[in-house]
Amino acid sequence: MPSPAKLYTQYKQTLQKIADIKYASAVLQWDQETYLPPKGNEFRGRQIATLNETAHQQFTKKKFGALLNDLAGKDNLTHGEKRNVQLSLEDFNKSKKLTPKFVRKMSEAVNKSFHAWIRARKENSFAVFQQPLHELIQLKKQEADMLGYREHPYDALMNEYDKGLTIKITDQLFSSLRPQLSLLIDHIKTKPQVNDHFLFQHFDKDQQWKFGMEILKRMHFDFEAGRQDISEHPFTTNFNSKDVRVTTRIDEADFGNMTWSCIHEGGHALYEQGLPESEYGLPLGEYCSLSIHESQSRLWENCIGRSLPFWKDNFELLLSYFPEQFATITPDEFYQGINKVQPSLTRTDADELTYHFHVMIRYELEKQLIEGTLNTRDIPAAWNDLYGKYLGITVPDDKSGCLQDVHWSHGSFGYFATYSIGSLYAAQFHTAMLKDNKALHGGKQNTNLQILTWLQQHIYKYGRSYSSEELCSKATGETLNSQYFIDHVTKKYSDIYT
């Protein structure tokens, strides 16, 4: 009978071969959103579907399941090996609930939906996207039923992004967060509005690109282990910790569009580059959850990238690229402008406070779509109603309204809440790292390295070893506490809006 060591080697080799297939699919998906010629859409969808189906077939083989169960009963594995096997067995049992045929069908539907979304944005017409999205949602409902749930089908989908996350937990969180944010926003409305006009001048596309690349370098994004490109909607993907790709988009009339896209995606990318290389293809080489992943992007974007120390230390760089646009602006004025609180149409452009209402709107719509109380044809009207209710905004068209996010075209239902939850984790992590090292109050390049080092030591190196709450407790000494976020934004915006 093979020894536990030989069985574990067999397990590891199997998972790494499956990872090779999954990452090959990821390469094709990255190319699809960056460089794929339009006429290649159909065949690309077929190729991705074949790879996804193949990976699922390999992972759910009875022989592999038997190997996992055999290993799960062994006592003489290391702690890390046992945890890998335990998590893989959980993944195996969950994946067995989906058939290879269903996985392929879902992949094909996502491909069709994504390209319909691209066309819909170009034509500024939700009608172009409506039917492919409807078909995709029907599959997501089937997926929820296959995976199983106790109280609500949406729980099954949320669990895919953060294990154990449910609408009950999220509703309670949002019910607590909403009035506190509203109170702070109402207080800000009584104060003189800050000036941000200097952010909406003409900013040359090439200069913006070079500036964004320099900011990523100063965050210590490793360009020998990654790259940046342009896409319709910014995203991060990886094929291993040594090949992590980010994308951005550029608006020559809006400085913030690209800048905070680079910083946000850079936060995601640093996490991926920091995952254990030795655990390639294994659970301990994967990120903890999407809530934790979003905590990394939101931490860099808001706690660091929108801080005064960061821009005091990077203001000379800013002026070197845009001397005319910011010649008369001080670092303090710039800091105030980039933190202006004002309801807006677009989630990715929103300030730290109103941002969460954008998330809540999408969360409410997704629940209704999955439970069947909202039809896809009614999305634009429902979207526009909620923007009026939550943000007092009139939505002028579909492109700036319900077509602004790529997530639904990817079938990522259950994802949006992780943005807000990630923001709460981010504030808590940031508070903890400041307590650990007072030098982190700065924003200099070497300080960015200290920030990265703290994250490597407290977040990155653990992979999927812990749940979100367990990791938070290990890093900060307590489970998620939204008061850290409330304290962060209250102090910050009370200082800005005096």
User: Which one, of 277, 262, 226, 293, lies nearest residue 30 by Cα?
Assistant: 226
Give the Cα separation of 423 and 163 in Å (integer): 18
Tokens describing residue 236 = 């991060």
The helix (run of H) or strand (run of E) holding residue 243 is strand 243-248
The secondary structure of residue 251, as a DSSP letter, is: B
Q: At what angle do helices 331-338 and 308-321 cross, to 10 degrees?
A: 110
User: Rounded to an integer, what distance in angstroms lies between the CA atom of residue 478 and that of residue 432?
Assistant: 10
Burial category of 253 from C-beta neighbours within 10 Å (exposed 0-12, middle 13-18, buried 19 and up): exposed
**Core vs surface per residue 46-69: b (16+ CB within 10 A) or e:** ebbbebbbbbbebbbeeebbebbe
Q: What angle do CA 310, 316, 319 make, to 5 degrees?
A: 115
What distance in Å separates the CA atoms of residue 374 and residue 393, rounded to the nearest whole number?
21
The end-to-end CA distance of the chain, in Å, is 73
Q: Please identify which of the residues 33, 143, 265, 294 carries the catalytic annotation.
A: 265
Distances (CA, A) of 341 to 28, 134, 165, 185, 192: 39, 35, 29, 8, 11
Q: Tell me how many degrees the CA angle 65-92-13 measures, rounded to the nearest 5.
A: 65
Whose tokens are 């959850």? That residue is: 289
* Residue 135: active-site member: no
Query: What is d(CA 367, CA 374) in angstroms, rounded to the nearest whole number?
Result: 9
Catalytic residue numbers, as ranges: 265
